[in-house]
Chain A
Amino acid sequence: MHALIIEDDTAIAEFIARGLREAGFAVDVAADGNEGLEAALTGEPDVAIVDLMLPGRDGLSVIDELRRKGRSTPVLILSARRSVDDRVRGLQAGGDDYLTKPFAFAELLARVQALVRRATRTPEATTLTVGDLVLDLLSRKVTRAGQPIELRPREFALLEYLMRNAGKVVSKTMILSHVWEYNFDPQTNIVDVLVSRLRDRIDRPFERKLLQTVRGVGYVIG
């Protein structure tokens, strides 16, 4: 997989590039809009990560030009603005997803992978498996080492989300928006509470712990 980062802040570009390389991507970095557009047109990346505020040519215009030239490269927009209007404008210009700075790298990675997956259309699985933990999406049953595990709907949703991203760290914000469809910061850490309840059901009775907390980042199953 080949990713193109168009971002003028070298520190940010650097940490995204390093993270994506560690996740198995080949990465190109462009530091201004024109250079970035050129790289997107000639390099044909599988995914582009585009900052909105760029020297030379702004991010929206890069995306617009890319689409005008008939390229359907999936684009993740990065922006320091969090207003709904900016998000809408970005998506209207042809961006596929939108992430506000600052962000957790785990979230950026998950979104980039989702974009690539959507573009390459990997068929949907009907069961998710992590070690001896099996989640059946159709019957909505969960078993571990053959033993059925009873889960509340919200716990099931969390487990499904973690297992779909098995091996990858998902952030609290991602969980909040996927499991509750909430996009604001609740005062209490309701995600911690739900995770610890889920952990009680799937991990406590077993020797091997599947659900891990990555402090400061999020949670990972696998």
Chain B
Amino acid sequence: MSSGDGRTGSVPDAASVANLTDRSGRFGLRLAMWYTALFIGSAFAVVLITYLLTSSSLAQRDHEIIQSKLGEYATVYAQGGLRALAATVDAEQRTSRERVFVRVLDGGSEAVLLSNAEGWDPSALEVGTTALLDGAIIQVGKSTEARSDILRRFRASLGLITLSIILIALTGGWVLTQSAIQPIRRLSSAVRHIIATGRTDERVSPGADDDAINELTLLFNAMLDRIEGLVQGMRGALDNVSHDLRTPLTRLRGNSELALAAEPDLERYREALADSIEETDRVLVMLNALMDISEAESGVMPLKREPFDLNEAADRAIELYREVADTKELVLKSGVRRPAPVLADRVRIEQAAANLIDNAVKYTPAGGSVVVDVETLDGRAILRVRDTGQGIAASELPRIWERLFRGDRSRTTRGLGLGLSLVKAIIEAHGGSVNADSEPGKGSVFTLSLPQQA
């Protein structure tokens, strides 16, 4: 606040801004790596399972073929002996596309029939064996070459598929994370810009989707709104304070200067000093009022909310002005009174009520009356101050709540011109509203309305 560059709020130094480098890229990379690893991992699992299933079902098929051949040959052998078997095998070898190796061993393990002897290599064959009735053994072998060939091709295409899956995963991961961190990027670059420039009036444009990031963006904007409100409130208060303190300070200074410049005169000095103290007190009252107004307007006024009835605040405020009203020969009294429970800061509401009564008493001539009503209307707790004063011109009515506005009628009356602004600020800080109606020459009605306590 002390910086003279016209900006409010402290701007971080270069070092701390430098620390705020873009970390969303690193975050995106991590996200992409996780995504890719998961994608590739599951793709591998699928490929591996497919391969194993295919390979085992191929083996199963070979096994079944061998078993069925064995059964067939055993039947032929049982019916027609070795000769019939040899004929059958021979015939099949010629017609069948899939060559099968057959060997029959007699009881002494001598090969008595062998087809395709040149290809009989047990290591490259899947072999099934069954015993025949006469003690001989028949063996059927099938080459695994075809199977290995299929599996080899299958492996090759699986490799290609896996490669393209990895490519898709990497590209997809990159695209996906880029689009996921895009709003975060926007948000952080806006924040970085605001930090660097101190401009709190910038906003991040929210995306179209109703997602968590968008919510964050909206929340961030709402936070900026609030900060900006605070900053403007403070700035306004500072402007007002510096502007409005100049007048009393000028009086204060002029007063002392005149006294010092004059011939030494004790009585005159005493007068000047007393004037100075009174002027200082006025400055203090004004400073307090300005601070209260800014605090209430910017939403930082601490409100100690408690349940109470507006009637109590009205009665206390009437009591405060009882003697003043008597002295001015005014009637100050309660009018309509109905329960009006509120949840509010008692002291502040009393202050608001007191200021309204103060205002009414000040501008109501002798013989007039100031009446305070309290009631509840449509869920709103209402406090109304009616006077029979000189009223306010319609042209001035909208401006009476402004800070330091002093209408024609009040030029000659002592006051700071802050009372009604404070009322408005306090009531609005409570979520309430204020209103003034007036008929010049007849009187005015000032109304506060607060949410009724549920």
Contacts and interface: CB of A to CB of B under 8 A. Distances in A.
Interface string A176-214: 000010111111101001101100000000000000000
A177 B280 CA distance: 20
B284 interface: yes
A85 interface: yes
Given A154-B322, A180-B320, A193-B323, A187 B288 contact: no
Interface string A97-125: 00000100000000000000000000000
A85 B416 CA distance: 27
Interface in A54-106: 82-85, 102
Contacts of B274: 215-217
B351 A193 contact: no
Contact of A188 (B276, B277, B347, B362): B362
Nearest to A180: B320
B383 interface: no
A152 to B, nearest CB: 8
> Which secondary structure dominates chain A's binding surface?
loop
A84 B271 CA distance: 35
B317 to A, nearest CB: 9
A215 B277 CA distance: 8
B419 A190 contact: no
Interface stretch (B98-106, B158-166, B352-360): B352-360
Nearest to B279: A216
A186 B278 contact: no
B32 interface: no
Interface residues of A, number: 24
Nearest to B361: A188
Contacts of B324: 188, 190, 193
A190 B321 contact: yes
Contacts of B278: 215-216
B278 to A, nearest CB: 5
B320 A190 contact: yes
Interface string B389-420: 00000000000000000000000000110010
Nearest to B275: A216
A186 B302 contact: no
Contacts of B241: none
Contact of B284 (A85, A102, A187): A102
Contacts, number: 67
A82 B292 CA distance: 11
A185 B320 CA distance: 12
A216 B347 contact: no
Contacts of B320: 180, 182, 186, 190
B416 A83 contact: no
Interface in B320-344: 320-324, 326-327
Contacts of A155: 323
B268 to A, nearest CB: 13
A190 B201 CA distance: 44
Contacts of A183: 347
Contacts of A188: 321, 324, 358, 361-362
B92 interface: no
Given A193-B324, A194-B323, A187 B419 contact: yes
Nearest to B277: A216
Q: Which of B276, B327, B358 has the most CB of A within 10 A?
A: B327
A186 B323 contact: no
B319 interface: yes
B347 A154 contact: no
Contacts of A102: 280, 284
Nearest to A101: B284
A205 to B, nearest CB: 19
Contacts of A82: 288
A154 B280 contact: no
A187 B355 contact: yes
B276 A187 contact: no
A180 B315 CA distance: 12
Nearest to A85: B302
Nearest to A192: B324
Contacts of A184: 288, 347, 351, 354
A193 B326 CA distance: 10
A13 B277 CA distance: 19
Given A180-B320, A216-B275, A186 B358 contact: yes
Nearest to B278: A216
Nearest to A84: B302
B46 interface: no
A186 B284 contact: no
Contacts of B285: 185
Q: Which of A102, A183, A186 has the most CB of B within 10 A?
A: A186
B436 to A, nearest CB: 16
Nearest to A188: B358
Contacts of B195: none
A186 B354 contact: yes
Interface in A114-163: 152, 154-155
14 contacts: A84-B302, A102-B280, A180-B320, A182-B320, A182-B350, A183-B347, A184-B354, A185-B288, A188-B362, A193-B327, A196-B327, A216-B277, A216-B281, A217-B277
Interface of A: 82-85, 102, 152, 154-155, 180, 182-188, 190, 193-194, 196-197, 215-217
Interface of B: 270-271, 273-278, 280-281, 284-285, 288-289, 302, 304, 319-324, 326-327, 347, 350-351, 354-355, 358-359, 361-362, 415-416, 419
Chain A to chain B: the 6 pairs with minimum beta-carbon distance, closest first: A216-B277, A215-B274, A216-B274, A185-B285, A187-B358, A187-B419
